[in-house]
A and B are shown apart, each in its own frame.
Chain A
Amino acid sequence: MLSRYIKLYYLFCKQNLKVMLEYRMDFLLGVLSVMLQQFAGIFFVKIVFDHIHALNGWTFYEILFIYGIAATGRSIHHIFFDNLWTLGWQYIRPGKFDRLLIRPINPLFHFIADRLQQDGFGQLFIGIIVIGTAMPHLSISWGVLEFFILVVMIIASGFIFVAINLFFATLSFWMVDSLPIVWTIFNLSDFARYPLTIYHKGIRHFLTWIVPYGFTAFYPAAYFIEGTGFERLALLTPVVAIISCLIAYWFWNRGLKAFTSTGS
């Protein structure tokens, strides 16, 4: 069962890769543009830190580290799960979603595997570079265990992005296209690029327990930064990721049951 899906995913990927190689210039343009976009954000932080020494007690490299985890985590979502954005306007509205339902595989799997978004690689590169730049400047000493935890945290961060987008994309089953909602919620992740301690308490709780974007960057990063007091909460990151995914998948299945095609 699982091996069949892995093989299928490989086949889907191969098709996607062929498209990528066909349009090489566009691949480069996509990667470059996302790198530039991320770089603009980092540059902004750098400019601000040229004039201050610390932001509420957070140093430049600590902020960079948070930023890097957010970018790398989001790249997982961007590369492999980008199709979530298109559920409403490319599948349900034109009646193409029915196609997925009559195939003998899990419709969610099919839907996700339909697209591999090459542009996300730019985000991945930048994320890794940023983390690499920030790491030596943190007071923690990096051993194998720390690296392992970092990788787990980043994967968890990616899946929290996925779960939140999946949850709100699922609303499309009732309202045809929920993109405005998905997009608005996604914008909340902007908060997560900076230490949550700079925000009002209400915002912090909201981003921790309701829409857990705090776990996509700030809490995982805080685990590696001494004296933040968030180390324990940070260890919850993988748990939050799993719970979020389960809730989102449960909601997706409910949506599937409620789905009636747009016809045509």
Chain B
Amino acid sequence: MRKYFEFARVQMQVHAAYSAWFWANTFSILLRMLVIYFFWKAVYSSRTEIEGLPFDGMITYIIIAMFLQMFVSGVGQELAHTIKDGNVAIELMRPYNLITRLVAMDLGDKVIHFVRGALPLSILAFIFMDITLPTTWQGGLLFLFSALMGIWIGTFFDLLIAILAFWTINLWGLQVMKEAVISFFSGALVPLILFPEWFQTISLFLPFQAMVYVPVAIYTGILSGTEAWLALGSQVFWAVSLLVLLRVLWSIAIKKVTIFGG
């Protein structure tokens, strides 16, 4: 356990070293918040509500979803590159579990991103952008739990996709594809209740809405009461299934390494 903790710690220090990327990220997020703000301001210029959501509810949803989406991807890139350049063979010989190590590093990454990035920026958003707090404290608590589940699901889904690097070399394409699918189905762009009925039904059976939509819908009160608890249940289901699926696919993929290795 200790060694994985060390990996997480080192990863945080690595981040502190690359300040250029930190500022680039911060600045880009600020820009996106501006685009979002003006876009939705224009959308609401001639009406007061859409599907029951007033402007401040909508902007709250979109901004919180934007922040959450930053945390639902993981170290897939890292794993994919290790596989592509063949280092995975060496990594597998080392005295740790590669997947656990990567998840530990990812955790370090996310903690530092949260503290240095998301937290100060969301405080800014609260002050300047009409963002509201959860309606009830229970809702807030449930949101925290649900968001952690969403991040968990996203992290493992990311690793699952990365394993495909055993079969393709276009990692950039894989990454873009994954992000497109997630922004489609996860509700990161707009609340899923705005989507057509059939689309909502499809996404009900996919793991993506559990990443962003469920937690943020709980936060903004779109989901409450029994609905919220049911959604949480589906999150638990996906969290467990993805973990199992990852284990299975990983053990199949590793066999491929030994075949190549020679």
Partner-contacting stretch, out of B45-53, B132-140, B145-153, B216-224: B45-53
Within 8 Å by CB of A198, from B25, B41, B47, B189, lies B41
Q: Is A147 an interface residue (CB 8 A)?
A: no
In whole angstroms, how far apart are the Cα atoms of A37 and B182 in the complex?
Answer: 10
Give the shortest distance, in Å, between B49 (CB) and chain A (any CB). 10
Closest residue of chain A to B169 (Cβ to Cβ) is: A26
Q: Is B170 an interface residue (CB 8 A)?
A: yes
Q: Is B240 an interface residue (CB 8 A)?
A: no
Closest residue of chain B to A198 (Cβ to Cβ) is: B42
Q: Give the interface SS of chain A, mostly helix, strand, loop or mixed.
A: helix
Give the B interface residue count (CB, 8 A). 39
Q: Is A62 an interface residue (CB 8 A)?
A: no
Within 8 Å by CB of A119, from B45, B47, B168, B173, lies B173
Give the shortest distance, in Å, between A176 (CB) and chain B (any CB). 10
Tell me the chain A residues, 188-229 only, with Cβ under 8 Å from chain B: 188, 190-191, 194, 198-200, 203
Closest residue of chain B to A44 (Cβ to Cβ) is: B189
Q: Give the interface SS of chain B, mostly helix, strand, loop or mixed.
A: helix
Q: Mark A10-45, 1 if CB is under 8 A from B, else 0.
A: 000000000000010111011011101101100110
Q: Is A52 an interface residue (CB 8 A)?
A: yes
Are B43 and A55 in contact, with the CB atoms below 8 A? Answer: yes
Chain A residues, CB < 8 A from B195: 47
Within 8 Å by CB of B170, from A23, A180, A203, lies A23
Chain B residues, CB < 8 A from A48: 43, 190, 194
Closest residue of chain B to A37 (Cβ to Cβ) is: B180
In whole angstroms, how far apart are the Cα atoms of A184 and B20 in the complex?
Answer: 11
Q: Mark B175-199, 1 if CB is under 8 A from A, else 0.
A: 0110111011000011000111000
In whole angstroms, how far apart are the Cα atoms of A166 and B50 in the complex?
Answer: 42
In whole angstroms, how far apart are the Cα atoms of A231 and B190 in the complex?
Answer: 33
Within 8 Å by CB of A52, from B25, B47, B184, lies B47
In whole angstroms, how far apart are the Cα atoms of A198 and B45 in the complex?
Answer: 10
Q: Mark B2-25, 1 if CB is under 8 A from A, else 0.
A: 000000000000000000110111
* A residues adjacent to B (C-beta < 8 A): 23, 25-27, 29-30, 32-34, 36-37, 39-40, 43-44, 47-48, 50-52, 54-56, 119, 180-181, 183-184, 187-188, 190-191, 194, 198-200, 203
* B residues adjacent to A (C-beta < 8 A): 20-21, 23-25, 27-28, 31-32, 34-35, 38-39, 41-43, 45-47, 50-51, 168-170, 172-174, 176-177, 179-181, 183-184, 189-190, 194-196
A and B contact pairs by CB, cutoff 8 A, 21 listed:
A26-B168, A26-B169, A29-B174, A30-B173, A33-B173, A36-B176, A40-B180, A40-B184, A40-B189, A47-B190, A51-B51, A52-B46, A52-B50, A56-B42, A180-B24, A180-B25, A181-B24, A187-B28, A191-B34, A199-B34, A203-B34
